Amino acid sequence: MINVQVRFFAGHRDIVGRSALLVELEPGTSLGVLWRMLSEQYPRLAAYTGRILFARNQEFADPATLLVDGDEVSFIPPVSGGAR
């Protein structure tokens, strides 16, 4: 098993109620799969599917990226919008 730290910001932190979680995952779990797992655990997160950006170790990453032990990940909710 691998340990990954997930950081939550803005609306996601409000839903999860915490700014970070340490999660234990099967080796070979991808960022996208982790998001699906979290969306099942916190159903209000599911509304963000398709509107988030994926980050691994503080850089943007593809949802297919496979996680390794010690990674820091985050799912970036839509950023501060407003008219141009």
Partner 1 sequence: MSELQPFVITAAPLDPVPLVQFVLTPSDGAVVTFAGVARDNFGGRPTAFLSYEAYAEMAIGVLEQLADEARTRWPIGRVAVHHRVGRLEIGETAVLVVVAAPHRQAAFAAAEYIMDRIKEVAPIWKQEHWADGAVEWRE
Note whether 74 and 48 are within 8 A (CB).
no
Strands in 53-56's sheet, in edge-to-edge order, are 20-25, 2-7, 72-76, 53-56, 59-60
Note the Cα 56 to chain centre separation in Å: 9
User: If binding is defined by CB under 8 A, does position 53 make contact with partner 1?
Assistant: yes
User: If binding is defined by CB under 8 A, does position 17 make contact with partner 1?
Assistant: no
Q: What part of residues 27-46 is at the interface with partner 1 (CB under 8 A)?
A: none
Q: Closest approach of Cβ 33 to partner 1, in Å?
A: 21
User: If binding is defined by CB under 8 A, does position 79 make contact with partner 1?
Assistant: yes
Among 21-29, 32-40, 55-63, the segment contacting partner 1 (CB under 8 A): 55-63
Q: Which helix (H) or strand (E) holds 33?
A: helix 31-41
Query: Which residues of the shown chain bind partner 1 in the complex (CB under 8 A)?
Result: 7, 9-11, 14, 51, 53, 55, 58-60, 74, 76-84
